[in-house]
Homo-oligomer: A and B are copies of this chain.
Amino acid sequence: MSERLERRVLQACNAVGTLNEYWGFKSIMGRVWTLLVLRRRPTAQSEVAELLGVSKSLVSSTMTELVGYGLVRQVSEHRNAPYEAVLDIWPVVTDVLRTREWMLLETTRLALESTREELRDQPDSPYDLERLEMLLSMVCAIQGLLRLVLSIRMPGSARALADWIKSVTELIGNLRKLP
C-alpha cells in the first residue's frame, strides 16, 4: 500500500474541499465527497474518518448532510451500510442556486423596489432615483442570468460535459461581436 498515493489523494480531497468552501459549503463536505468519488468501492464512515484524519462524529454529521443534499447515498438501508458518491451533481447545484441564491436576489429586488416607490414621492431627498434604478436593473440582470443557468440541461456524464462546454464556448465566442 503506497504511502505516497494516500498523501496525494488527501491533497486532492483538501483542494476540492477548499474550492467548495469558497462557494459557501463546508470544506469537510467536499473532502468526504471527493474521497468517496475516488474510492473504487463504497466506503464505511469509520474508514473515511481514518483516511481523512478527522473524528468519526464529524464524518457522521457530514454524511447526514451530504445524503440530505443528494450528493452521497448509502448502498443499502442497513444502518452500517457503506456510502458511495453521487457523481451527477448538476441537479444539486441548480437546486441550491434555485433556493438560496434566488431568494436572496428576490429579497434585494423587493427592497430596492420599495425604496423606489418611496423615493418617487420625494424628489429633493439626498438619494438619487436614477442610481437606484441602475442598481435595480443590475439585480434584474443577474436574476436573468441565473434563470438562464437554471434552464440549462447539463449533460449528466462527465465525458459529455466536456463536449458540452466546448460547444458553449464556441457559441459564446460570438458574443464578443455583439456590443
Contact = CB atoms under 8 A, between A and B. Distances in A.
Contacts of A151: 176
A96 to B, nearest CB: 11
| Copies of this chain | 2
A155 B179 contact: yes
B137 A159 contact: yes
B152 A165 contact: no
Interface in A153-179: 153, 155, 158-162, 164-169, 171-172, 174-176, 178-179
Given A8-B118, A107-B15, A137-B159, A126 B165 contact: no
Contact of A11 (B11, B87, B111): B111
Measured as residues with beta carbon below 8 angstroms from the partner, the interface class of chain A is 35 or more
Nearest to A5: B118
A1 to B, nearest CB: 8
Given A8-B111, A111-B11, A122-B2, A38 B159 contact: no
Contacts of A95: none
A24 interface: yes
